Amino acid sequence: MIRIAVQKSGRLYEDSVSLLKECGIDLRNVKDRLKTVSENFPIEVLFLRDDDIPEYVEDGVADIGIVGQNVLGEKNRNVSMVEQLGFGKCRLSIAVPKSMSYTSIKDIEGKRIATSYPKLVKSYLDQHAVNASIHEISGSVEIAPGIGLSDAVADLVSSGGTLFVNGLREVETILESQAVLISNLKLDSTKLSILEKLLFRIRAVKKAQKSKYVLLNAPNEKLDSIIKLLPGMRSPTVLPLAESGWSSVHCVLSESEFWNKIEELKMAGAEGILIVPIEKMIL
């Protein structure tokens, strides 16, 4: 059995549990529990504070864990990052009052910065040879300039709405972050085997989330031009329809190219286009 640590509350909790369930791992009665064991996969889930997860994985209390890259970078524990998970995306940024004149990071020289990520902020400032006073605070970082505690803040940003409401503007990005799967460096062969099985499932789920299954009808005289537009996993599947002179074409399109391809397909003569979500994709 392998132990995985996930956030017990906060922005990564629901997506972490959802990912495990989408991987076919049966997790029951997870609410308000500190740990649970799956009945159909050799895994025990520990629900911990996100700040503690890197340390627990390093120490071997948990074998693997799901944590934000921002926390991983700040804690700087000796663990392995084995997979980016694609959710919980945000960035650690420096923000200043809208009224402050700002042209470059050099304008932070001598200023006071409030943050929950002092190590990451100091590293960034050192890279740019900037000296500033860093005040470590937890929670409500964005109000610090308004109450005179700091001249700027360094905090996690998703949409930027919280900064805007507090009269701040984003000026520097320190780190792009998302949820990642981390691992202890000394897993034995049995646990490594379980981890590989879990990664296989996670990658199948991630691939499916970024793809759409497309079915369309096409006149046979236009098949060649339509097929040329379709990348597919290997090549599109073409099946004859009951109506003479027509075929049904099946393929997979990635989310990034989806709408452009659909427009091109319609212009090439495709009709009756049906889009179906993919639950899992095994390559």
pLDDT, residue 212, reads 87
Fold assignment, 2-86+179-208: D-Maltodextrin-Binding Protein; domain 2 (3.40.190)
Q: CATH 3.40.190.10 spans which residues of the chain?
A: 2-86+179-208, 90-177
Over the stretch 187-213, which tens digit does the pLDDT of each residue have?
999 999 999 999 999 999 998 888 889
pLDDT, residue 174, reads 97
Pairing state of beta strands 90-97 and 43-48?
Answer: unpaired
Q: What percent of the chain shows pLDDT beyond 90?
A: 72
Q: Is the pLDDT of residue 233 over 70?
A: no
Q: What backbone phi and psi angles, to 5 degrees, belong to 94?
A: -90, 135
Q: Is the pLDDT of residue 246 over 80?
A: yes
User: Is domain 90-177 in CATH 2.40.40.20, yes or no?
Assistant: no
Q: CATH 3.30.70.120 spans which residues of the chain?
A: 211-277
pLDDT, residue 28, reads 78
Which strands, in side-by-side order, build the sheet including 237-240? Answer: 237-240, 246-254, 211-219, 271-277
Average pLDDT over residues 75-92: 96
Fold assignment, 211-277: Alpha-Beta Plaits (3.30.70)
Quick one: angle between helices 13-22 and 189-209, nearest 10? 100
Over the stretch 9-47, which tens digit does the pLDDT of each residue have?
888 999 999 999 999 999 877 777 788 999 899 999 999
Average pLDDT over residues 158-185: 94
Over the stretch 85-116, which tens digit does the pLDDT of each residue have?
999 999 999 999 999 999 999 999 999 999 99
* Among candidate residues 157, 160, 257, 165, the one with its CA nearest the CA of residue 214: 257
